[in-house]
Structure 1
Amino acid sequence: MEVIYVSHDGGTHWIDAKQRETKTLEVAISQSQPGHLIRLIAGTYNISQPLRLPRSGTVDQPIVIRGDSGVVLDGNRGPDATVSATNPGASRFAVFQLIDVDHIRIEEIVIRRAWPSAVYIENSCDLSFAGLDISDGTYAFYANGPRTERIRIRACRWVQDVAIWRTIRWDEIHDGKDEDGNVIKVPYRYLNGAFFGSDDIAGEVEISNNDIRDCYNGIRMDVSADNVGAPVGTFNRDVRILDNRFSYIRDNPVEPEAIAVGWWIGRNRFFNCHKLFSQDGVRGGFWYYFGNICWFDSRPGPEGDEYNGGAVFKLGKGGSVPQPDYVSACLHNSFFLRQKYIKKGTTRGLINARNAIDHADPTALPDQMMPLDQSFLGKQEDIQLSASPPLPVRFEGDLANHPTYPAVFDPYDGVLHDPRPAEGPLFENSLAGQFDLAECHRVPYSCGLEIPLPDGTTWHSPRAYWPGAITNGRVIFGPEYVPVDIEYVRSLPIPG
């Protein structure tokens, strides 16, 4: 590759034991060609206009933008209150704009004060981001357009605003509605974004080994009203969310919207997160949650904030609200909870199996950390779980210590199988983040577990696995990723 040296002033600088000519970042970007390695030397770069890549790289000759240690790109922007849970679009600021380009890599750069987005993507593919340290913004990354696919984000870090978890009320970020249905715009609406947000993208997204913290949402991928009727697999397909750490997430770490198929949420760590997995109003399926560890030592919100309960699953409300079309599986996860497992809603096709579900003892926690009478599930009239075909719900082989377990499932005929009730703590030291099972619970299963995959094959969970995410000191790897076989998935019957 040809190395293009970049400095904040475009002058001559001592680099790698030699005086070298440099370009400004704007010039280097505008002149970039396939095979260029654009190397930024240490310094603060003030970005007044978006850096828009004018052309693509190639498979063999990508365009690479890489920072030395000490490189900071400062957008010098304050919050844009016109962007809240919406597509920011190409007309708004982003440090990098990748529009109709392919085969671009951006690596090892600190980005500050980029509102509403640090990186904006539109109808582009084969993009890779690694080692970016981003703070501020409605979005760290936003992707848009049906040609957008094959996006990889790894080893990045995002801090949106450290005030979100404890200081700002939930309903000061999320717009509300009055009695007539008019939107009430709230003061911190510009924080209603995500580490990765998208609209109408094909998919093939991998988000791995990132540190995502102090934000409203982690990953939220939407489909616009114009495309909600598109065939399953057209949008939000083949998404891998693996080996990340989510901390102090005020709403949802993982939130597909409208339709999604082939999502793999595995081996993540969720620390102080409100509602982990959202399936509210989402069609599709073949969603897999495995090897994840969830725990807490804090409750969100300031005094008087009513939105502080949370749950593991956020489900749809039933009636005309869309429901999953295919199976999903939540298996071999370890949960240390102060919240309900399911607060309300309904789903179908969920296989909830072999998790270790430890509800904390509220009397051993600081006052008001969790209700003294916290329930395993919400009110019976608020939750619908059915074992009826063609997409029955099954809770099978879970280890749980809540005093109402397994009796809490009595109203849901045929849903519960092979329960493992327990007393006392399930893990070695949950508050300290030590999630090896207590020795008395290290009991493998007598039979295997079969999980349908989106290519028509089946994954078999080893019988030697213990409940939860960790067996013999190691986090389980879980089902091997396989891409969605569109023809197979579309051949399956859709429940009426």
Structure 2
Amino acid sequence: MIRGNGAVIDGGEPYDDYREIANRLAAVQEANGRFPGIYYLADNAGLVLRNCQWVVIEDLTFEGCWPTAIYLDNCQHITLRRLHIRGSTIAIGAAGPYTRHLLIEECDWIQDLRSHGEADLAAIRKIGAVDAGLDPGDCGLWREISWDQVHGNIEDTESRVDVETDERGFDGDFFRAWTIAGYVVLRNNVILDAFNGIHFFNDASDSTVEDFCRNIVIENNWFVRIRDNAIEAEDYAWNWTVRGNRFVDCYMPFFAGDAPIRLFLHLRQSRLESASTWPRWRRPQFRPAFQVSQTARSRRPALCLQQFMDAERADQQAQPYPPVPPSKQRDRLLRRSGPVDAEGFCTFWCELAERPEAGPGRKFTRRQIFHQALARTRHTLRW
């Protein structure tokens, strides 16, 4: 166990000093035909754990650790608790195909220190709400910095890195994972004034892609003023539970990338909020709460499974889609039915959501929903 009890790991570099360095490094990547980011430097961290097991780290403060505060490489059974991270492109990075069983809880991260994140953090921890009386005008990531300055590139925005004006040092996440095994729990964390929140990549080959980014739980976290995506899954993810989170003034609470994704979610009791002090004409323009890119939607419309997987009886009254069976009945039917085609189920569920009646004067029963979806089986769905 590593317990800080107020100890500070100081990177010794404020963001103003690191900004131009990050921009120059991103420009080099762009000149070499790569995406203009500094992600490849993620292992340049204030604290690195490599090939470690059964380690608990708690009550540490990280300040000015650019680009990364904590980096985990091929680690198992790691607990990060009550860590306070200020600055950093990436607060916590995880890599390695054998990285699994991570618990990250009660941590807080403020990336852009020029806003009033500290006051909001204190209010969240004390009364469970942001301070609506604070002026939103000092939120630099929203007010002074454009999205292109942080994440723009030639392909998407037709813009090149500007070493003098860009802000590439903010192009990071609270938790970023590169093709890890999974089994990660992130709970009771507070993320404020940052570009991204939780971000998983899965670059494994087609034959092994299902072995990574599996079994993720994201619950009871606060995402406040996230400039891009609060939660993002890239390429392929499996069996995620996202519940009890609060999103305050976030551009995109959840986003799934362009590649085919099998993403199965429990989306329960999460709240989308906006601070009351944002005047309507100055309020950030938010995208839809949950979105799959058009490419991913045409290949595998997996997000619709959120309504099916969220099968707890207490939540059924709030569901906009037709009622689904309780979990015991669902599991019993699935055991009887054998392989399930996720794509067929999603397609059917989309159609059912738009046309809930099976015929004049009656609706689909729960059993009919199952049997119609199961009739489209072509692939094996693992539970």
TM-score by length of 2: 0.67
Partner of 1:291 in structure 2?
A: 269
> Within the alignment, does 1:263 sit opposite 2:215 as a pair?
no
Once residues 143 and 174 of structure 2 are traced to their aligned partners in structure 1, the CA distance between those partners, rounded to angstroms, is: 19
Contact 2:82 2:107 in 1 (8 A): yes
Please tell me whether residue 417 in structure 1 is matched to residue 356 in structure 2: yes
The answer (yes or no) to whether the contact 2:301–2:347 under 8 Å persists in 1 is no
Residue in structure 1 matched with residue 40 of structure 2 by the alignment: 88
Q: After TM superposition, give the deviation of residue 280 of structure 1 in Å.
A: 3.1
Q: Report the counterpart of residue 201 of structure 1 in structure 2.
A: 180
Show the counterpart of 2:229: 252
- Per the alignment, residue 214 of structure 2 pairs with 237
Which is richer in strand?
Answer: 1
Query: Is 2:79–2:104's contact at 8 Å kept on the other side of the alignment?
Result: yes
Change in Cα spacing, 1:116 to 1:416, as seen in structure 2 (3 Å) is: farther
Query: For residue 130 of structure 2, what is the aligned residue in structure 1?
Result: none
Q: Structure 2 vs 1, CA of residues 325 and 103 (structure 1 numbering), >3 Å: closer, same or farther?
A: same
2:145 aligns with 168
* C-alpha distance in structure 2 between counterparts of 1:73 and 1:239, whole Å: 29
Q: Please provide the CA RMSD for this pair.
A: 3.7
Closer, same or farther: CA 353–122 of 1 in aligned 2, 3 Å: farther
| 8 Å contact from structure 1 (residues 87, 199) kept in 2 | no
Pick from 54, 62, 83: which aligns with 1:103? 54
- Aligned in 2, Cα 1:184/1:72: closer, same or farther, shift over 3 Å? same
The CA distance in 2 between the partners of 1:210 and 1:318, in whole Å, is 32
Partner Cα separation in structure 2 for residue 331 and residue 321 of structure 1: 20
Alpha-carbon shift at residue 328 of structure 1 (Å): 2.2
User: Taking every aligned residue pair, what percent have the same amino acid on both sides?
Assistant: 26
* Alignment equivalent of 1:152, drawn from 93, 100, 103: 103
Q: Please list, as runs of the form range in 1=range in 2, the aligned pairs for 1:124-143 lying within 5 A after superposition.
A: 124-143=75-94
Deviation string 1:248-307 (CA, Å, 9 cap, x unpaired) is 01111110000000111100111111111112325112122111011113799xx999x8
Pairs within 5 Å for 1:6-85: 64-69=1-6, 71-77=7-13, 78-79=18-19, 80-81=22-23, 82=25
For residues 147 and 216 of structure 1, what CA distance do their matches in structure 2 show? 28
- Partner Cα distance (1:451, 1:144) in 2: 40
> Who is 2:193 aligned against?
214
2:301/2:346 contact within 8 Å kept: no
* Residues 202, 304 of structure 1: alpha-carbon distance in 2 compared, 3 angstrom cutoff: same
232 and 415 in structure 1: CA distance in 2 versus 1, 3 angstrom threshold:
farther
Distance between the aligned counterparts of 1:298 and 1:176, measured in 2? Answer: 34
Relative to the length of structure 1, the TM-score reads: 0.52
Distance 2:176 2:5 in 1: 28
Over 3 Å counting, the alpha-carbon distance change for 1:416 and 1:110 in structure 2 is farther
Residue 178 of structure 1 and its aligned partner are, at CA, apart by 5.8
Residues 75 and 113 of structure 1 are in contact (CA less than 8 Å); yes or no, is this contact kept in structure 2?
yes
Selected match of 1:184 from 160, 184, 202: 160
Work out the CA distance in 2 between the residues paired with 1:285 and 1:112.
35
Does residue 323 of structure 1 match 2:300? yes
Alignment partners' CA distance in 1, 2:202 and 2:37 = 12
Q: Are 1:391 and 2:364 an aligned pair? A: no
Taking a change above 3 Å as real, the CA distance of residues 315 and 144 of structure 1, as seen in their structure-2 partners, is same
Partner of 1:354: 318
Change in Cα spacing, 1:389 to 1:237, as seen in structure 2 (3 Å) is closer
| Residues 245 and 416 (structure 1), Cα distance of their counterparts in 2 relative to 1, 3 Å cut | farther
**Residues 284, 211 of structure 1: CA spacing in aligned structure 2 closer, same or farther, 3 A cutoff?**
same
Which amino acid in the other structure matches residue 286 of structure 1? Answer: F
Q: Which has the higher helix share?
A: 2
Q: How many residues align?
A: 295
Distance in 2 (alpha carbons) for counterparts of 1:321 and 1:332: 21
C-alpha contact 1:232 1:261 (8 A) present in aligned 2: no
- 1:413 Cα deviation after fit: 7.8
What is the identity, as a one-letter code, of the residue corresponding to 1:491? Answer: T
Take 1:149 and 1:218, find their aligned partners in 2: how far apart are those partners? Answer: 19
Structure 1 position 492, deviation (Å):
3.3
2:197 match: secondary structure:
strand
Distance 1:200 1:332, change over 3 A: closer
Specify which structure has the bigger relative contact order, considering alpha-carbon pairs within 8 angstroms and separated by 6 or more residues.
2
Answer yes or no: is 1:119 the counterpart of 2:70: yes
- The CA deviation at 1:313 is 1.8
Stretch deviating more after TM superposition (233-242 or 73-82): 73-82
Say if 1:273 and 1:118 are closer, same or farther in 2 by CA, change over 3 A.
same
Letter in 2 for 1:285: L
The 5 A counterparts of 1:454-473 are none
- Distance in 2 (CA, whole Å) between partners of 1:353 and 1:231 is 39
Give the 3 Å change call, closer, same or farther, for CA 68–389 of structure 1 in structure 2: closer
Output one character per residue of 1:102-140: Cα deviation in whole Å (capped at 9) or x when no partner: 111110011100011000111111111000010111110
CA contact (8 A) 1:165 1:250 kept: yes
